[in-house]
Structure 1
């Protein structure tokens, strides 16, 4: 599943998370491979440790090196999220945009498809926003031919969700399972 891109000896590359835009209904982040020269930069919020020693999270948007090129692949899907505090069901539209190192189009499609399959494994699918982004960072680390991923999350209007939607019953069962699991 993973693949290697040749790097010069001694080069240190990080998987970095850069917030690009955040509003009440829209959140856009960039996850990319980046050489970081100064890990004492005051704009760094967190540097990973242990297994994630190569992760850096920035506080706010940096001047992002502009590609001026469209993404080479994108995938869009909707998820239902339960707000544990309010017990409200929210629907989100999520878009993943991919940029690759120089590859043939078929290889780009293959790698993006493999990453998405790994992301959607039912036993490992992240159940919250933080876990979803962390999983994307882990997968970007594994799929070295993917240069960067932009994640756009838009919370959809609550009125757009049908109150009798079958997902409500599924989410209720899922929340019961989570509560039972936590009480063990």
Structure 2
């Protein structure tokens, strides 16, 4: 696409394929003022309606490294399920951020983290590639206007026939003992899974409980406002408030993030002059 930079041109969010191999795909999404391509141009797709302002380049750009290094990067892994073979593929997704020059350097990490949290929110996580890329572009277009460019690296890792297992905290099940079905135990499992939702079937299978009995417990927790139901029969913890903002004077030199209480105790035993912040406070 022939892009001309002029003052009177409208700003668009433009997605361009950058590099693709059998195991890795790189996409570049950037904010640009561009001239509107001709409607018959087969090299681009011009979005309309609710997606107006988005342009998709169909041809790959030259794989030239940006002379300006990225200002932030975040990555995570997902498991993809093939509709044809049923196999599970682990994929690493990496986001590289560039911001507008007027963006304060000390604001970059917080904005990148907030963008990342919205992108991977369990309640609205895109189920396919199209939805994933579209969500990135819409967030850039309407909310995170200080992001000038994002590169998305999608790298396929291992492939397996078995579904991945969700880790839970150690309990009496691991010792071969019968675990009593109680509200506290079900709530503990939901909290261990957070921020990922967990289904009735997952809860019941973990401790060989009857699903109908688990549903009664979940109904009680719902009435108490401790959990909330999501799509597909899943449940997650209700969060009361977020972690307070850390003052600049208290920024840690080393930050260790733990998910389980037992992990926190292990870290506390090894480190002196420490301070603990709880990411989420629950009722």
User: Are 2:67 and 1:68 aligned?
Assistant: yes
Which runs of structure 2 are paired with 1:71-150 in the superposition (5 Å)? 71-102=70-101, 103-141=103-141, 142-150=143-151
* Higher gyration radius (CA): 2
TM-score when normalising by structure 2: 0.52
- Distance in 1, matches of 2:64 and 2:104, equals 23
Instruction: Show structure 2 runs of 5+ residues with no match.
Output: 1-5, 167-197, 203-231, 234-283
Conserved 8 A contact 1:119-1:135: yes
Structure 1, unpaired ranges of 5+: 1-7, 179-184
User: Could you say what the CA RMSD is over the residues aligned between the two structures, in angstroms?
Assistant: 2.8
Offset at residue 63 of structure 1 (A):
4.9
The match for 1:16 is 14
Task: Kindly indicate whether structure 1 or structure 2 has the higher relative contact order, using CA contacts under 8 Å at least 6 residues apart.
Answer: 1
Shift of 1:61: 2.0
- Equivalence map 1:18-57=2 (5 Å): 18-40=16-38, 42=41, 44-57=43-56
TM value normalised by structure 1? 0.78
1:82 Cα offset (Å): 0.9
Distance change (3 Å), C-alpha of 1:147 and 1:163 = same
Equivalent-residue separation in structure 2 for 1:33 and 1:164 (angstroms) = 38
**Cα distance between partner residues in 1 of 2:106 and 2:148:** 16
SS of 1:86's partner is: coil
